[in-house]
Chain A
Amino acid sequence: MSQATILSVRDLRVELRSRRGSFVLTADALDLCARETLVILGPNGSGKSTLMRVLAGLERPVGGKVTSAATGPVTMVFQRPAPLAGSVVHNVRVAFLGKKRSGAELRDRIDEALARFQIDHLAQHRAATLSGGELRRLALARAFALRPAVLLLDEPFAGLDAEGQAALSLDLRRAISDTGVAVAMVTHDLRRAMLIADRIAVLIDGRLAQVGRRDDVIEKPSTPEIARVVGMTNLVQGVVVKERRGDCALVEIDARHRIATRTGLAPGTRVWVGIRPEYLKVDVGRGDVDPIGKGVVREVVNDGVAITVQLDWAGTELRTYLMAGRGLARTLRAGVPVSLSASPEHVHLIPVASNGSAAASDASRRAL
């Protein structure tokens, strides 16, 4: 990363105890660079919000350290924004309490922030009367009004309907791009993550499992657990065989199913084969030039925008997406036989070790 590191985590260990039990969060190394957006993904309970609170200085680690080189404010937007009593303008103005600003500058900043998140028409409304989506916009407007060097976002789209999420994520992306603020955002929504992430960090069970550039993590997860978090839901075990198909290696799933890949691993290696749903192609004819075999449609789910197709293949359930209302999407039905294919460069291999957990740990260290 060519940009300077603005927030740095080293050998972090956080221990939280509650009536429900204890929780430990560890992270060997995590950096946030200037002008970049780092998205922290992970299942519920993996420690995402805890990590965000540590970065904000709200939780004290028992080990390791968080170093900030930020020259401006480091601020955070919480998962459930709590409005203060008073107007929307008052809620933004609060951020400037104890900071010397001229009245004109204050007005300009507040007006700009409210307009940026399209709530300027609500300026004099009582914050307590705003909808959930408007409250999120208010919290973001307040944070951006401060012109922070680092912005920490904890699930900024949680609880919003699909339309609200889409609109807010676009406004947020524009605001980040316009201001150049460094952002660390926690979410479990992969689509929103993809929209704004430069880099992605994955937390699994309180452990920082993989960090890397967005496309690297999305397309080359280092463990099956990470693969599931980043949406690589098509996972099946196989063995790398000696035979090759052109310049591609072959992975044998069973006697009748082989998959070509450009990932180089020694023959005999047991692997998880991962194919992102968007890279798995279906055809009712002969199929593509990179076939992986015949499958049968199990279920077709149409949400009006995209169609999710569940398929049976080699005793495994696979998934692919189609655009609703177009081509094949109009004709696929449950029980229809289809040809499946995937381009070898989109077939990712994850080695399976005899000790699964050790393999995952090794892979994570390599990724870090």
Chain B
Amino acid sequence: MNPPSIGLLIEITARTLAVCLPALVISLAVGLPIGIAVGRRRFAGRGALVSLINTGMGAPPVVVGLLVYLALERNGPFGNLAWLYSGQAMILAQLLIALPLVVGITLAAVGSLDEDWELQVRTLGVPPRWRLWLLVREIRLSLLAAVITALGGILSEVGAVQMVGGNIEGETRVLTTAILMYTQMGEFEHALGSAAVLIGLMLVLTGLLTAVQQSGRA
């Protein structure tokens, strides 16, 4: 097998980002409001819901991949979408892996605020939308931790995307599935090259987020 060209590596890296970033953005867009709502409100069944979210945070990605596979395969409930072995299936799997992480960390951050925090802000006559802005500002360091955790989780994930993406060259091959494939083929040099790119990508992205997080402490 020929060594992967720089062009191929760039293509795989771009696809990795094209799968991970939408999954991250959607998980944040959906997960932050859910985490804030569950963290702020008391309702029947909240304990069970929090327990479910916590379980989701620790769910094995390969199991998530299996469930997505079963849902999307031809005879599955969403088989008519024909998403299996496509980028959409990979985004969906990564979204389901990231979502509990975002929700769980957000609701823990909201829960760690003083019991009277919201009441104190309310009695100052601060309007609801400003209260929400204040809340997000108050937990912003934890929110960045949620972003870093979710990004790390989906960038390094391999089992689920392999299962639902199929590692099809030029279509669904991403850095993790490429590393797995090269390793299984004994192409350790190529595997190490792809791994170096993946590690570099994680270092750059998490480093940027960490810098933002630490500047927020000032």
Contact = CB atoms under 8 A, between A and B. Distances in A.
Contacts, number: 54
Interface stretch (A23-31, A75-83, A298-306): A75-83
Contact of B116 (A73, A80, A86, A143): A80
Tell me the interface secondary structure of chain A in the complex.
loop
Given A58-B119, A80-B114, A98-B130, 5 more contacts: A78-B119, A82-B114, A82-B117, A86-B137, A98-B125
A129 to B, nearest CB: 12
Contacts of A54: none
A90 to B, nearest CB: 9
A94 B134 contact: yes
B181 interface: no
B127 interface: yes
A74 B121 CA distance: 13
Given A78-B119, A81-B120, A95 B114 contact: no
Contacts of A152: 123
8 contacts: A56-B123, A78-B116, A80-B116, A85-B137, A94-B121, A94-B124, A97-B127, A98-B130
A95 B126 contact: yes
A146 B116 contact: no
B124 A142 contact: yes
Given A82-B114, A82-B116, A82-B117, A76 B134 contact: no
Interface of A: 53, 56, 58, 73-76, 78, 80-82, 84-86, 94-95, 97-99, 142-143, 146, 152
Contacts of A86: 137
B189 interface: no
A24 B140 CA distance: 39
A125 to B, nearest CB: 12
A80 B137 CA distance: 21
Given A80-B116, A97-B130, A85 B125 contact: no
Nearest to A53: B119
Contacts of B171: none
Contacts of A76: 120, 123
B122 interface: yes
Contacts of A142: 124
B199 interface: no
B125 A95 contact: yes
Contacts of A143: 124
A82 B124 contact: no
Interface residues of B, number: 20
A73 B119 CA distance: 15
A143 B126 CA distance: 12
The interface centre, meaning the residue of B113, B119, B120, B129 with most chain A CB atoms within 10 A of its CB, is B120
Contact of B113 (A82, A94, A98): A82
Given A78-B116, A80-B116, A82-B117, A58 B123 contact: yes
B126 A94 contact: yes
Contacts of A78: 116, 119-120, 123
B138 to A, nearest CB: 5
B102 to A, nearest CB: 20
Contacts of B120: 76, 78, 81-82
A38 to B, nearest CB: 18
A229 B171 CA distance: 79
Contact of A98 (B119, B122, B127, B140): B127
Nearest to B138: A85
Contacts of A94: 121, 124, 126, 134
B114 A99 contact: no
A103 B92 CA distance: 48
Contacts of B125: 73, 75, 95, 98-99, 146
Interface in B89-117: 113-114, 116-117
A84 B126 contact: no
Interface string B136-163: 0110100000000000000000000000
A24 B130 CA distance: 34
A86 B138 CA distance: 9
A208 to B, nearest CB: 22
Contacts of B140: 85
Q: Which of B116, B117, B121 has the most CB of A within 10 A?
A: B116
B58 to A, nearest CB: 28
Contacts of A97: 126-127, 130, 133-134
B72 to A, nearest CB: 43
Nearest to B130: A97
A94 B137 CA distance: 12
B126 A98 contact: yes
Nearest to B133: A97
Contacts of A95: 124-126
Contact of A84 (B119, B123, B134): B134
Nearest to B116: A78
A143 B120 CA distance: 10
A142 B125 CA distance: 12
Contacts of B121: 94
Contacts of A85: 137-138, 140
